[in-house]
Amino acid sequence: MMDQRILEFIGDLRRAEVRISPSESLDALTAVAEIDLSDRATFKAALATTLIKEGRDLGTFERLFDTYFPDVQAFGEGLRKALGPEDSWIHELIDRLLAEGTLEVDEISELVLGGRGAEMEVAVRSAGLERLMQLFRLGSEFSRRIYECLDWGAIERDFARVLEMLESRGLTPDQLARIRQYLELRLEAFRRLVRRRVERELERQVVCRGENGLSEPLLDKALSALTADEVVRMKVLVAQLARKIKDALALRHRRRSKGRIDSRRTIRKNLQYGGVPMEMVLRHRRRDKPNVVTICDVSDSVGFASRFMLQLVWSLQGCFNRVRSYVFVSEIVEVTQAFRRYSVEGAIEWALHKAAIDYHGQSDFGCVFSRFARTELGAVDSRTTILVLGDARNNYNDPQEGALRQIRERAKGIIWLNPQSQREWGLADSVMPLYAPSCDLVRECRTVGQLAGVIENLVPHWSRCRG
C-alpha cells in the first residue's frame, strides 16, 4: 500500500518536470523499507535524498510531499482541539446504542459518531473520495458533486434518530443538549476533514501542471464573483506566488551578499606579492531586510481581495525585518499580534471578523489615514514600504489626502492595490485620483489574473527596498 503511494508520488514529481530515473525510484522504495514510517521527518528525508538531485526541485518536492503524506499527528491535534475535551460518558452511551443493533445508521455516520481522528480519515476514504478525484477537474462543479455524493442529509438524519432514541430513554434536556453539541462538533470536524482533502488534491494537481492551475476564463473573473472551490484554487495560487516571491528575494540577497571587487583595496593587498598570485578583496554593502506596513480595507465591497492579500502578507512575514498589519473600515486597528499568533487561516479569519472595528460601517479612508498619521507613524521609517489595499470609495467623507502625503514623506514608498475597475476611479465617491500622487505604484487588482500579476510584480519593488 505504501509502495503504491510512493510510486504515485514519484509519478506526480515527474509530471511536475522533476527528473527521476527508475533506479532512483527503486532506491527510494529500498530506503523507505529500512526506516520507521511513523517518523515523518526521517521518511521525508529518505525520499528527498534518493529522489531529488537539484535544489530547484526541492520546492516542488515539499509541496507534493505535504499533499501526499500530510502531517496526520498535527492534524489530529488540531482536530482534538476543535472537538473539545473527550466526553467518555457520551462515547460509552453511543457505543452501547450502536452495539444493541436496534439503530441502523449509514457506515459513514457510524464512523463519524466515533469521533476519533484516525477513524474520520478512514471515513473520508471509504466515502469514495479516492474514486472521485476526477471530479476535481470539473471546475465549479466539484464541491457540489462531492457534497452530494457524501449525502450530508443522511448523516444529519442519522444523528437526529440517535437523539430521538436517547430522548425516549429518559435523558434530561441538559443531557440531550450536551449530546447534541457533541454530535454537531463531530459533524463539523468531518466536514473540515473533507474540505482539507479537497484542498490537498487541488494543490497536487496545480503542482503537477507546473502552472498556476487557473483557466483563462478564471483569470479574467472578478474576485468578488469566485465560487467556493475557485476560492480554494486561489488560496493555492497565492501560496505558490508567496513561495515564488520568497525564493526570488532570497536569491537576490544571496547574490548581493557575495559583494563586488574593491579595486583599490585589492591592489594594495597584492603589492606584497607583486601581483602574483592575485588575492581579491570584496566590498560588501550591507543590505538589511525592509520593513513592511500593510493597511487593508476589510469592508464588504473588497472582502475577497482582502482575504488573499492578508494570506500573502502572512506568508511573507519571514522575508522582512518587520511586518506590521492594520485593517480598517471607518476605523483602523492593528492586527500584527494575531498574524504572529495564529495559523494563516486563523489570522485571516481574526482580521476579517474579530478585530475591534465596526465591520458593517462605511469606509472612511480620510479618517483612517489621519488617525494613522497621528498615532502610528512610529511604525514607519525610511526603510518601510506601505502596502495599501482598498477601493478608495470614501462615501463622500473628507479624503484628508494631506495625511497620506505625511505618511509618504516618512516612508520608503507606498504601493496601492485597488480592487475596483480603473475606469471608475474618480467617479462618484471614489477619491483614488487624490491619493495616487502620494503613491509610488498604483495598480488595479479586480480580477484573479490582475491580482496574480500584481503579486509577482511586487518582487522588484521589495527587492529595491533592501538596504
Rounded Cα–Cα distance for residues 257 and 406 (Å): 34
Are 94 and 35 within one domain?
no
Position 145 in a domain:
yes
Same domain, 425 and 310: yes
Comparing CA positions, the residue from 14, 25, 15 lying closest to residue 50 is 25
- 462 Cβ neighbours under 8 A, 6+ residues apart: 245, 249, 290, 292, 319, 320, 385
> How many domains does the chain fold into?
3
- Residue that finishes a domain, picked among 192, 209, 226: 209
Report if residue 454 sits inside a domain: yes
In this structure, what CATH number is given to the domain that contains residue 386?
A: 3.40.50.410
Q: Do 22 and 61 fall into the same domain?
A: yes
How far apart are the C-alpha atoms of 43 and 73, rounded to whole Å?
14
SS3 content of the chain, % helix, strand, coil (to 5): 65, 10, 25
One pLDDT digit (tens) per residue for the chain, 467 residues:
688 889 888 988 888 888 899 889 999 999 888 888 778 888 888 899 899 988 778 878 887 887 778 665 655 555 555 555 667 788 788 878 777 777 777 766 776 776 555 555 555 554 444 444 444 433 334 444 555 556 677 778 888 888 888 888 888 888 888 888 888 877 777 777 666 666 666 666 665 655 444 555 566 677 767 766 667 667 777 776 777 676 666 665 555 555 567 677 777 777 776 656 667 666 655 555 678 899 999 987 787 788 888 888 887 777 777 889 999 999 999 999 888 888 888 888 888 888 889 888 889 999 999 999 999 998 899 889 999 999 999 999 999 999 999 999 999 999 999 988 898 999 889 999 999 999 999 999 888 778 777 776 666 555 554 44
The reply to whether 223 falls in a domain is no
Same domain, 48 and 82: no
pTM of the model: 0.54
- What does the pLDDT read at residue 304? 74
Residue 198's pLDDT is what?
63
Residues 446, 416, single domain; the answer is: yes
Bridge-based pairing of strands 322-328 and 332-334 is antiparallel
Question: Other CB atoms closer than 10 Å to residue 372's CB: what's the count?
Answer: 23
In a domain? residue 172: yes
Q: Are residues 300 and 447 in the same domain?
A: yes
Distance (Å, whole) CA 66 – CA 40 = 11
Please spell the DSSP secondary structure of 111-148, one letter per residue: HHHH--HHHHHHHHIIIIIGGGGGGGGGGGGHHHHHHH
Predicted pLDDT of residue 398: 95
Domain that holds residue 183: 74-209
Find where cell 447534541 sits.
180
DSSP codes, 356-419: SS-TTS---HHHHHHHHHHHSGGG--TTEEEEEE---B-TTS---HHHHHHHHHHSSEEEEEE-
Residue 176 lies in a domain: yes
Domain assignment present for 244: no
Whether residues 201 and 299 fall in one domain: no
Do residues 202 and 327 share a domain? Answer: no
CA distance 225 to 231: 10
C-alpha 128/C-alpha 139 separation (Å) is 19
Domain boundary among 179, 209, 239: 209
C-alpha cell at 11: 509519478
User: Is 20 among the domain residues?
Assistant: yes
Other C-beta atoms closer than 10 Å to the C-beta of 255 total: 8
Do 308 and 444 lie in a common domain? yes
d(CA 448, CA 238): 10
Residue ending a domain, choose from 69, 99, 118: 69
Tell me, yes or no, whether 357 lies in a domain.
yes
Which phi and psi (to 5°) does residue 322 adopt?
-155, 135
Give the cell for residue 76: 489530529
| DSSP conformation letters of 233-292 | HHHHHHHHHHHHHHHHHHHHHHHHHT-EE-HHHHHHHHGGGTTSS----EEPPP-PPPEE
**Do 164 and 298 share a domain, yes or no?**
no
- Same domain as 96, residue 167: yes
Position 163, amino acid: L
Whether residues 86 and 118 share a domain: the answer is yes
Query: H-helix or E-strand containing 107?
Result: helix 107-114
